Amino acid sequence: MSQQPLISDREAYFLERLDRGDRIEADDWMPEEYRRQLVRLISIHAVSEIMGALPEKEWVPRAPTLYRKLAITAKVQDEVGHGQLLIRVAEDLMRPWGKTRDDIMEDLFAGRLKYHNVFHMATPTWADAGIIGWLVDGAAVITQGMSLSCSYAPYARALQRIVEEEGFHIQHGESICLALAEGTPMQRAMLQDALTRWWPALLMFFGPPEKSELSTNQLRNLRYRIRSKTNEELRQRFFSKYVHRIRSLGLQIPDRTLAQDAVTKEWHYQQPDWDLFRQIVNNHGPRSQERLGLRRTTYEEGAWVRRMAAQASSV
């Protein structure tokens, strides 16, 4: 009786390569599960960049000065550019499945592909645009900074370009928030309201805490060196980086229980509503349907442009 080996020789060699610190390229052999995890991760990241342009785009026509209008336009343009970069990385991975960017967009519209919780939220004031740049992009860079060490080289190379531009986005957001913090009582109140509104979404951004056990997906992604830190480790890093800065502006974080343990340095905090999180990422957030609708309409109305561009290449 022959016994089925747990992993094939090829897979054992693949894992050995990862342990040596080798990075994997698109045309290297890889386990199907590795490919599936990467496609899932990178597609979510790609559509989140594209959907992430929409909340801030709402403030392009209403930016308070010409300078701010130019800067926020540049940022929105960068985010869409990041989406394009990541879609290319995903497309190369999906090639053996015969899938393309059209499938990514169809999956997004059909609700099969999720985008980050933060981009389902409303942006009623200019301070929301500031908080997105300062803290949402700040949170994103903590996650993406970890992913720079991802074992899949094309994703890591894309992230190097993305993280560099995010550095500009964060300072753009800091500049808006500092100006409001130093402004009139009304401007300060607007900034405080935006922070209060965004705080739970910022904590949700890193995903549910692991408690004592890791999910199968997470274990696999750690083993594949796709990620190197848990959701909770990343959230803790966010607290350490931003809590004192937020407080130095005299802003109140809407969580009276938030405190750092003097010995372990661990932050204790009020858990956001994780049921609400699941509703939001399943497209039942405050602005989910409007933004998906806008993206769908734009996609349909732009069909002729894609068709013309495809023909131009064969002239």
Partner 1 sequence: MRNLDSEVYEVFAQSDSLSPHVHVFNVQASSPEMALVLAEENFFRRAEFVSLWVVRRDHIHHLGFGDRDGFKKTAKPYRTTDDYKYLRDKWRYYREHPMNPDADRTSTQGGHEHDFTRD
Closest separation in Å from C-beta 305 to partner 1: 22
Give the per-residue SS3 of 74-117.
Answer: HHHHHHHHHHHHHHHHHHHHHHHHCCCHHHHHHHHHHCCCCCCH
Closest separation in Å from C-beta 70 to partner 1: 4
Contacting residue, 215, 252, 282, 297, with partner 1 by CB under 8 A = 252
Using the contact rule CB under 8 A, the part of the chain among 21-29, 86-94, 105-113, 204-212 near partner 1 is 21-29
Contacting residue, 68, 82, 291, 295, with partner 1 by CB under 8 A = 68
Contacting residue, 36, 88, 101, 157, with partner 1 by CB under 8 A = 157
Closest separation in Å from C-beta 118 to partner 1: 22
Using the contact rule CB under 8 A, the part of the chain among 17-25, 80-88, 106-114, 284-292 near partner 1 is 17-25
Q: Between residues 247 and 296, which has the closer beta carbon with respect to partner 1?
A: 247
Greatest CA separation for the chain: 80
- Is 67 a binder of partner 1 (CB under 8 A)? yes
- Is 250 a binder of partner 1 (CB under 8 A)? yes
- Is 112 a binder of partner 1 (CB under 8 A)? no
- Is 10 a binder of partner 1 (CB under 8 A)? no
Distance CA 261, CA 150 (A): 31
- Is 185 a binder of partner 1 (CB under 8 A)? yes
Contacting residue, 7, 74, 259, 309, with partner 1 by CB under 8 A = 74
- Is 38 a binder of partner 1 (CB under 8 A)? no
Closest separation in Å from C-beta 291 to partner 1: 25
Using the contact rule CB under 8 A, the part of the chain among 239-247, 276-284, 290-298, 304-312 near partner 1 is 239-247
- Is 182 a binder of partner 1 (CB under 8 A)? yes
Q: Give the footprint of partner 1 on this chain (CB under 8 A).
A: 22-23, 25, 64-65, 67-68, 70-71, 74, 153, 156-157, 160, 167-168, 171-172, 174-176, 178-185, 188, 192, 244-245, 247-252
